[in-house]
Amino acid sequence: MPSPIALNLSPTRSMFKRRSSSSLAALASAKSYLAAVSEADARARAHGATPTSTPALSLSSSVTTNSEDSVLAEEDDNRDGLALPIVPPTSEQVFNTSHLEFGHSANQRHRYKSQYVPGAALTHDEVDPPYYVLITTYLSYIFLIVLGHVRDFLGKRLNPGKYRHLMPANGYAPLNSDFDSFYTRRLKTRLDDCFSVPVTGVPGRTIITFDRETNDYNLTMKMTGEKTRGLNISSYNYLGFAQARGGCADAVEECLRRYGISTCGGRLEGGTSDLHVMAEALVARFVGQEDALISSMGFATNSTIIPALVNKGCLVISDELNHASIRFGVRLSSASVRMFKHNDMKDLESVLREAISQGQPKTHRPWKKILLIVEGLYSMEGTLVNLPAILELKRKYKFYLFIDEAHSIGALGPNGRGVVDYFGINPRSVDILMGTFTKSFGAAGGYISGNKALIDRLRVAGHGGTYAESITPAVVSQILSSMASIMGVWTPPPVQKGLPSPAEPVQHPGPAPVSMLPPWMDLPLVQRDGSEGRERLRRLAFNSRYLARGLMKLGFITYGHVDSPIVPLLLFNPGKMAVFHRMMRTRRTPIYVVVVSYPATPLVTSRVRFCVSASHTKEDIDTVLRACDEIGDALDLKHLPGERWPIQRIVDSAVELVNMQD
């Protein structure tokens, strides 16, 4: 029974019809682009300076502009304003990336260093929206729930055929009970055009999605065959390593030629290759631990290693918002679990005091060990773990600390080494640092790091080593090359006669010794000297702060820390999620966003989650802010009390906004 109030019958038509491209201010063709470049040259000359070339993301000007990697070779038109930079570079600024994958940004003022400022507040107050917003949100849910039940009630009687899969039939219980699937059927289906959008190409600065349409209110969706490119502010591509060209992709190609696709086995059963050994050494060096272990899936890293760390008689204390993979692992471990309020150190301490003094349930025997599991950066909230306070507690309460750095590794800290780096803390003061390669490194899989004895224990006792497939060579080479380019590579100077060869640097955070990379991996100079990696880190930090601050100045309620590349914007009303998503993706420059709601978030706080990337330029963030400004007015989303700036002022004073300290 199709809902009469479903919003999106063929969403690409009707009110969300894509606007015509005629009103485009952006440059429409390569020809006009060329003209703009020469204009920019002229301007630069008029200012009496030779145009500066960016040191890192450009090659020397000896590279001709008609090389394959040059922006002018970009295949298609610029109707959406995404293919060509809004601020045209001078002809001396030659970029070796594709603007669609990794935006061209030469302005060195659009950089920032991600670092904790001692004394800065870590938790900022979560602002409640006006009451009417809360009430209408609750009402929306109640309405949806009541309506859903009414439809179920009537539907089962009037149209039983449609409900057969929810009822017992010929002696089989239904696969899916109507109670368990209620949320999916009656609430999520209404938003389904916002989820699982099929894509193609590189999930870089821009992404191409396939258009879909539905004739039955989202029950089934058909691809129309059309594709739409849009600005991608949703992928976990924090450092912009999702690239089909450049040093890392070259390394992967070389690796495929040398190693093939797979190593055909588990790590302990003959699937270990020399690449794995190198990668583990490099990861340990990167995070600053003694040893590390890599596995072929980030989720499985948690779900198969946590059971090897704790068992019956142990206690896991877990942040209430921890990721599903952590919960999965804890459940498999048969350890007891206690939750504490998200990032609330007072609550954590009281849980600790109670747990230690009460001991195990019923027997009151002391716990064998207590493991605190937190995330570095929370993927739905953008909050940072309060690491200094946790380490303080750790000294007193002697628990072990496990930090899941899935989102923070690479994305935070002056050297990209995660939250520990951000706070300037010695990584060895944390027992276990876990992370994934799917995000900042543009690869796949995960790692666990800690001291050597512990990691060896996990190699033997973790499920993955014995039973899971090992990580494939192509993925390892992406990890090695991207990590090395963040670290920079240290090559021993030529040995002089009579002098001992210089020792490899071991300080943390230091460069990657060339001995930890395969000899055939020939990274370009900008990656070897670490300048490209530094640029990525600085660009990400700038973009993150700019977006977060900009949204706040526009009056949006956001969550999380300003330095977090994850910026959630609160929508509250469930109905606004779908509309926001559709309005964003049907703009002249389409913007692809992620909307999340219950059960991933609490019921009232439905949100849009932006994931900023180093591949975005300042102008891309401008585009997002402008879009939010317009849509925010249309949907009544600006509820933050305090000073508001008009959008033009925000765009003009981006640098000032970013550098503002609170």
Partner 1 sequence: MESSYPAAARTLEPVFAFMSSSLAQLETTFYKIPGSHVAARYVKSSHQNDPGRTVVEVLIFVFLIFTILQQRTRAGDDERHFIKYSDEEIDESVDDWTPEPLGAPLDDVETADLAAVPVIVGPIGPKPRLLNSSKPVINMVSYNFTGLAGNELIRDRAIETLRKYGLGSCGPPGFYGTIDVHMELERNLADFLGTESVILYSQSFSTIPSVISAFAKRHDIIVADRGVNFAIQKGLQISRSTIRWFDHNDPRSLEDVLIAVEKERKKRRAPLTRRFIVTEGIFEKDGSMADLPRIIELKNKYKFRLILDESISFGTVGRTGRGLTELYNVPASEVDMLVGSVANGLNSAGGFCAGARAVTEHQRINGTSFVFSAAGPALLAVAASEGINILCNTPSLLSTLRGNIAAVRAILDRVDVLDIPSHPASPIIHLHVRTTPTPTTNGLLDPSSAATISTGKSNPLSVHPREPPTFDIAREERLLQELVDECLAQGVWITRAKRLRGQELVEARPSVRLAVSAALSRKDCERAAQVVRAAAGKVLGRRR
Q: Which of residues 217-236 bind partner 1 (CB under 8 A)?
A: 232, 234-236
Q: Which does 309 bind (CB under 5 to 8 A by kind): partner 1, ligand PLP, none?
A: partner 1
Q: Is the peptide bond before 509 cis (omega within 30 degrees of 0)?
A: yes
In the list ligand PLP, partner 1, none, the entry touching 249 (Cβ below 5 to 8 angstroms by class) is: partner 1
Between residues 327 and 459, which has the closer beta carbon with respect to ligand PLP? 327
Rounded Cα distance, 589 and 246, in Å? 26
CB 384 within 8 A of CB 391: no
Shortest separation between residue 628's beta carbon and partner 1, angstroms: 19
Token pair, residue 501, equals 């060869």
Distance CA 343, CA 385 (A): 6
Minimum gap (Å) between residue 320 Cβ and partner 1? 14
Residues 108-127, interacting with partner 1 (CB under 8 A): none
Distance, in Å, from the CA atom of 239 to the CA atom of 384, rounded to the nearest integer, reads: 18
* Least spacing, CB of residue 469 vs ligand PLP, in Å: 14
Binding-site member from 53, 96, 263, 544 for partner 1 (CB under 8 A): 263
Is residue 360 within 8 A of residue 310, CB to CB? The reply is no
Residue 230's identity, in one-letter code, is G
Closer to partner 1 at the Cβ: 207 or 486?
A: 207
Measured between alpha carbons, how far is 13 from 15 in angstroms, rounded to an integer?
7
For partner 1, which stretch binds (CB under 8 A), given 137-145, 499-507, 568-576, 632-640?
137-145
Report the alpha-carbon distance of residue 283 to residue 143 in Å, rounded: 51
Site map 513..542 versus ligand PLP, x via CB under 6 A: ------------------------------
Choose from ligand PLP, partner 1, none: what does 267 bind? Cβ within 5-8 Å by kind: partner 1
Q: Nearer Cβ to partner 1, position 51 or 201?
A: 201
Q: What is the number of other CB atoms lying within 10 angstroms of the CB of residue 97?
A: 21
| 12 Cβ neighbours under 8 A, 6+ residues apart | 18, 211, 213, 224, 586
Least distance (Å) between residue 458 CB and partner 1: 7
Q: Is 297 in the site for ligand PLP (CB under 6 A)?
A: yes
List the structure tokens of 482. Answer: 């991207």
Binding site partner of 489, from partner 1, ligand PLP, none, Cβ cut-off 5-8 A by kind? none
Q: Smallest distance from the beta carbon of 321 to ligand PLP, in angstroms?
A: 10
- Is the distance from CB of 338 to CB of 345 less than 8 angstroms? no
Distances (CA, A) of 551 to 493, 517, 645, 653: 49, 42, 10, 13
Q: How many residues bind ligand PLP (CB under 6 A)?
A: 14
Using CA atoms, how far residue 372 sits from 333, 387, 436, in Å, is: 14, 12, 19
- Burial label for 537, CB within 10 Å (0-12, 13-18, 19+), is buried
Q: Show contacts with ligand PLP in window 393-412 (CB under 6 A).
A: 404, 406-407
Largest CA distance in the chain: 94
Cα 553 to Cα 474: distance, rounded to the nearest angstrom? 43
Binding string to partner 1 for residues 302 to 331, with x set by CB under 8 A, is what? Answer: -xx--xxx-------------xxx--x--x
| Only segment of 12-20, 360-368, 383-391, 638-646 that touches partner 1 (CB under 8 A) | 360-368
Pairwise CA distance, residues 303 & 305, whole Å? 6
Of 15-23, 26-34, 263-271, 640-648, which segment contacts partner 1 by CB under 8 A? Answer: 263-271
* 298: CB partners within 8 A, 6+ apart: 325, 406, 435, 436, 437, 438, 444, 445, 446
In the complex, minimum distance from the CB of residue 236 to ligand PLP, in angstroms, rounded to a whole number: 7
192 touches ligand PLP by CB under 6 A:
no
Instruction: Report the partner that residue 375 touches, choosing among ligand PLP, partner 1, none (CB closer than 5 to 8 A by kind).
Output: ligand PLP
β-sheet bridge partners, residue 207: 230
568: Cβ contacts below 8 Å, ≥ 6 apart? 380, 381, 382, 558, 559, 560, 596, 607, 608, 609, 610
Question: Of these, 154, 244, 525, 660, which contacts partner 1 (CB under 8 A)?
Answer: 244
Q: Which of residues 466-485 bind partner 1 (CB under 8 A)?
A: 466-469, 472, 474-475, 478
273 binds, among ligand PLP, partner 1, none (CB under 5 to 8 A by kind): partner 1
Stretch 177-216 residues interacting with partner 1 (CB under 8 A): 180, 184, 188, 195-204, 207, 209-210
Least distance (Å) from partner 1 to the CB of residue 456?
5
| 444 makes contact with partner 1 (CB under 8 A) | yes
Q: Is 302 in the site for ligand PLP (CB under 6 A)?
A: yes
Nearest distance from C-beta of residue 187 to ligand PLP, angstroms:
22
375 lines the binding site for ligand PLP (CB under 6 A) = yes
CB of 24 to partner 1, least distance (A): 25
Is residue 427 within 8 Å of 289, Cβ to Cβ?
yes
Tell the smallest beta-carbon distance from residue 237 to ligand PLP (Å): 13
CA–CA gap between residue 81 and residue 343 (Å, rounded) = 41
276 contact partners, CB below 8 Å, separation of at least 6: 263, 267, 294, 470, 471, 476
Residue 304: name its binding partner from partner 1, ligand PLP, none (Cβ under 5 to 8 Å by kind): partner 1
Which residues touch 584 (CB under 8 Å, ≥6 apart)? Answer: 590, 591, 592, 593, 627, 631
Residue 325 touches ligand PLP, criterion: CB under 6 A: yes
Contact set for partner 1, span 386-415 (CB under 8 A): 396-400
Give the count of residues interacting with partner 1 (CB under 8 A): 133
By CB under 6 A, name the binding residues for ligand PLP: 297-299, 302, 323, 325, 375, 379, 404, 406-407, 436, 438, 446
